[in-house]
Copies of this chain bind each other. A is one copy, B any other.
Amino acid sequence: MTNPCLPECGVARFLTLLNGPWATLIVRELLHGPRRFTELRDALPGISPHTLTSRLRQFEEHGIVTRTAYAEIPPRVEYRLTAAGEGLREVLEAMATWAMSIPAPAPDTAS
Contact = CB atoms under 8 A, between A and B. Distances in A.
Which bucket holds chain A's interface residue count?
Answer: 35 or more
Contacts of A95: 10-11, 14-15, 91
A105 B15 contact: no
The quantity of this chain's copies bound in the complex is 2
A1 interface: yes
25 contacts: A1-B109, A4-B107, A5-B107, A6-B99, A6-B104, A11-B25, A11-B28, A11-B95, A14-B24, A14-B96, A15-B24, A15-B25, A17-B99, A19-B21, A61-B105, A61-B106, A61-B108, A62-B102, A63-B102, A63-B103, A84-B101, A87-B98, A90-B94, A90-B98, A94-B94
